[in-house]
Amino acid sequence: MTDCIFCKIAEGTIPADKVYEDDLVVAFRDLNPKAPVHVLVIPRKHIATLNDLTEEDHAVLARLQWVATRVAQQEGIAEDGYRTVMNCNADGGQSVYHIHLHVLGGRQMEWPPG
């Protein structure tokens, strides 16, 4: 997708403060953090929403979560705790239509979240 900001970050055509990348995913710091640690983990493949996932995408979803745990360890929040969140569509809070997993930590998380 040529107009997707996350696709451009994954391609490297838009700079981002990347903390991890491999052949399936890229993780980078959120520009508008909601916690002391706020990292987004995105697939390199463009998938607009969770509703657009196919059976073939299960490896990508597993990789997003696995990378989130690595990021939490790397950022020093794994031991105290952290939150992972995926939003779907407007009412779910999704603002960029390329699936992404938020990794939030470094402070006590509130409940309910929204």
- Known catalytic residue at 46: no
Residue in 38, 98, 100, 102 annotated catalytic: 100
Q: Are 106 and 33 in contact (CB under 8 A)?
A: no
Residues designated as active site: 100
